[in-house]
Amino acid sequence: MKRLVLLVFVLALGACGGAEPEPAAEPTTAAETSPTTTAETPTTTARKPKPKPAAKALPGLPAWTAGYQEWTKITDAPLPPRDADPHLGTKTVYTSKPAAGGTFPEGTLIVKEAFRPGKDFVGLIATMRKEPGADPEHADWVFIEWTREGPDDAFSEQARDAVCWSCHMGAADRDYVFTNGG
C-alpha cells in the first residue's frame, strides 16, 4: 500500500515537471485490485547520441581524402614554410595507417595539408597512396598535389608522380615520406 502511494506521488511529480505533487489517490484494498493489474512505472528513454556525420572530402578532392584530419598525425608540430618550399605553407601530415618498421603498409593514404602564408584556409593538399604494383621503383606510391586560391574554391590538380618523386627521393630511406623536415 505504501508503495502504491509512493508510486502515485512519483508519477505526479514527474508529470508536472517538479511542481507541487497532486494529492495521492484514496488507498485501495487488496480486494479492489485485480491480480492482472500492475502499477506502471515511469520509464526514461535514453537518447542515443546522434551519429557523427560522415566526413566529406574538401571540394575538388577525391572521396578517399575525406576525414583525413581524424587520421594519425605524423608531424610533431605544424611545419613552417621554408626557402624553396615545394609545398609552400605551414604543413601538417596525416596517415591512414602507421608505418611498421619504417615502411608504410599497402593501402596507406598520406595527406599533407598546407595553409598558405597569410591565409586561414587549407590551400594545398598533397597526397601519397600506396597501391600494390603502381610504381615498384618508388615503393608503389602514387603522388598527387592539389591547390586552391580561396576557401570556397574547389581544389585542382597541380602536379603528380614524377614531379613529386624528384623531391621525395631525398626520403627514399624513410619510405619516401617526409615528416618533420618537409
Q: Which CATH number is associated with domain 63-174?
A: 3.50.70.20
Measured between alpha carbons, how far is 95 from 108 in angstroms, rounded to an integer? 7
Average pLDDT, the chain: 81
Residue 42 pLDDT > 80: no
Confidence band for 54, pLDDT divided at 50, 70 and 90:
confident
What does the domain layout of the chain look like in residue ranges? 2-32, 63-174
Closest C-alpha to 143, from 102, 87, 84, 60? 87
pLDDT at residue 8, rounded to an integer: 38
pLDDT in tens, 132-180: 999 999 999 999 999 999 999 999 999 999 999 989 999 999 999 987 6
pLDDT at residue 40, rounded to an integer: 57
Residue 68 pLDDT > 80: yes
Measured between alpha carbons, how far is 32 from 21 in angstroms, rounded to an integer? 24
Confidence band for 117, pLDDT divided at 50, 70 and 90:
very high
The pTM score is 0.70
Classify 93 as helix, strand or coil. strand
Residue 3 pLDDT > 50: no
| Those residues with Cβ within 8 angstroms of residue 151's Cβ, 6 or more apart along the chain or in another chain | 120, 121
